[in-house]
Structure 1
């Protein structure tokens, strides 16, 4: 199967969910044009409070639609954009990518920086959802399932139906951690 974009989303406000739009424009080094998280430095409110000079490694949020399928199996109705992603993909194992993977999407390139670490706001959306997207294993390890974050390495327009091509970085590959 060819990996593809299922839907794209943006919001000019720091709302949790993002409405679906026909297309988004990715701006090199900044993020999604018209999205509250667009910028060279961090835009997420808690990160701005901690240190507003930090580089923005969370310019684009990508989520795999297969997560929605898993959540539906346990009674959570989640649709594209509801969890705040900018790009919803299908047929791409985002969580298995190493740091530095380059995703060619439409005319743009996004370089994967790490895993999204969802906050407690997700519980207001649907009680019990946080425990489904952040799993704590018996050995103490934490598994984050809420997609990946990236930076825009080449700007361009991205729309539903666009194919996604993956280029892995030179080895050794580093596993994704939260950013």
Structure 2
């Protein structure tokens, strides 16, 4: 397995941030790929995403944003890191990290196919 990391963000996050008064465009949060219509945060660890005709990445966990995100836009970190409904856990909404399983060219508008792992599904969690 190739350990090159790929950061993916769901474009719906940009819409949510806009509703909160922030302006964020694809690529501005350091992501390599942005998706639309794929529940990245709801996918289990080990999910394969086929990007375009050749590229495949395997989801390893949520992205853990750092305080530098506030250097981009003040207050943005609080928008992408929050407490869960029970108040006990931290929820990272700034996308997922993955590793490259197969390289290839990825272009805007390419389809994204989701292949769930076999066996019990493990929820994404910070490591």
Shorter chain as denominator, the TM-score bin is: over 0.9
TM-score normalised by structure 2 residue count: 0.94
- Within a 5 Å distance, the mapping from 1:139-154 to structure 2 comes to 139-154=87-102
Q: CA RMSD in A?
A: 1.2
- Within a 5 Å distance, the mapping from 1:154-165 to structure 2 comes to 154-165=102-113
TM-score normalised by structure 1 residue count: 0.67
Residue 63 of structure 1 is matched in structure 2 by 9
- Max radius of gyration: which structure? 1
- Within a 5 Å distance, the mapping from 1:30-109 to structure 2 comes to 30-31=3-4, 59-106=5-52, 107-109=54-56
- Within a 5 Å distance, the mapping from 1:110-125 to structure 2 comes to 110-125=57-72
Please report how far the alpha carbon of residue 139 of structure 1 lies from its aligned counterpart in structure 2 after TM superposition: 2.1
Please report how far the alpha carbon of residue 88 of structure 1 lies from its aligned counterpart in structure 2 after TM superposition: 0.7
Higher relative contact order (CA 8 A, sep 6+): 2
- Number of residue pairs aligned between Structure 1 and Structure 2: 125
- Within a 5 Å distance, the mapping from 1:163-178 to structure 2 comes to 163-178=111-126
Structure 1, unmatched stretches of 5+, are: 1-27, 32-58
Distance in 2 (CA, whole Å) between partners of 1:118 and 1:178 is: 11
